[in-house]
Amino acid sequence: MQWWVNNIDDGFNKKVTDKYVLLEDIDSIPRLALWEEIIAVPWEGPTPVDRRGMMPVMFQGGAADHERRLKLVRFIGDFLAKYNFNITIKKDHLNARLKGFEQA
């Protein structure tokens, strides 16, 4: 898995000069909390494409308070919409589908 990381306001515990950042070099509490949320559920690989050539994406807000969950779902929805996903949001639950893929 690849992540792009920006250093905002000294988020690392040492000067990063290499192309890659190690987890132990991250000193930002919010970024570490995000990482803990990301790894809380094991990743089972990419979402399969169904027989109609559609790739579904589902997301539910997480452990934040209600308002933050809504903001996060809207943010993810806006991001996916830029890549032509068809987005449906109900409360803090997002469904997104992308058409036009061949079945794996």
Instruction: Give tens-digit pLDDT for 53-88.
Output: 777 777 776 677 888 888 888 888 898 888 888 899
Per-residue confidence (pLDDT) for residue 61, from 0 to 100: 64
End-to-end CA distance of the chain: 20
Comparing 73 with 99, the larger pLDDT belongs to 73
CA angle 56, 92, 88 (to 5 degrees): 40
How large is the average pLDDT for residues 86-92?
88
Residue 101 predicted with pLDDT over 60: yes
